[in-house]
A = this chain, B = another copy of it.
Amino acid sequence: MEPGPPGSSRPTEPGPCLSAQRGADQAASASLQRAARAQPGRQPLAVAAVLPAGGCGERMGVPTPKQFCPILGRPLISYTLQALERVCWIKDIVVAVTGENMEVMKSIIQKYQHKRVSLVEAGVTRHRSIFSGLKALAEDQLNCKLSKPEIVIIHDAVRPFVEEDILLKVVTAAKEHGAAGAIRPLVSTVISPSTDGCLDHSLERARHRASEMPQAFLFDVIYEAYQQCSDYDLEFGTECLQLALKYCGTKAKLVEGSPDLWKVTYKRDLYAAESIIKERISQEICVVTDTEEDNKHVSHLLEEVLKSELNVMTSDFQETQKLLSMLEESNLSFLYPVVVISVHFLDFKLVPPSQKMENLMLIREFAKEVKKRNIWLCGLLISYPQDEQKRQESLRQGAIVIASLIKERNSGLIGQLLIA
Chain A: residues with CB nearer than 8 A to chain B? 1-2, 59-62, 177, 179, 181, 183-184, 186-194, 197-203, 205-212, 236, 238-239, 241-242, 245, 251-254, 259, 262-263, 265-269, 271-276, 352-355, 357-358, 361, 364, 400-401, 403-405, 408, 410-413, 416-419
Residue of B nearest to A210 (CB): B188
Determine the main DSSP class of A at the interface with B.
mixed
| A193 in contact with B183 (CB, 8 Å) | yes
Kindly provide the distance from the CB of A361 to the nearest chain B CB, expressed in whole angstroms: 7
B416 touches A199 (CB 8 A): no
Do B211 and A188 touch (CB < 8 A)? yes
With A254-B199, A404-B411 in contact, is A188–B212 under 8 Å at CB?
yes
Contact: A202 with B353, CB < 8 Å?
no
Given contacts A199-B181, A275-B271, contact A251 B194 (CB under 8 A): yes
Q: Are B202 and A241 in contact (CB under 8 A)?
A: yes
With A198-B254, A268-B262 known as contacts, the answer to whether A238 contacts B401 (CB < 8 A) is no
Contact A190 B211 (CB under 8 A): yes
Residues of B within 8 A of A274 (CB): 275
How many Å lie between the Cα of A272 and that of B271 in the bound state? Answer: 5
Contact A191 B202 (CB under 8 A): no
- A selection of 18 A-B contacts at a CB cut-off of 8 Å is A181-B199, A188-B263, A189-B239, A190-B208, A192-B207, A199-B241, A199-B242, A199-B251, A200-B251, A201-B242, A202-B239, A268-B269, A268-B276, A354-B355, A354-B358, A401-B416, A413-B413, A416-B418
A190 adjacent to B190 (CB under 8 Å): yes
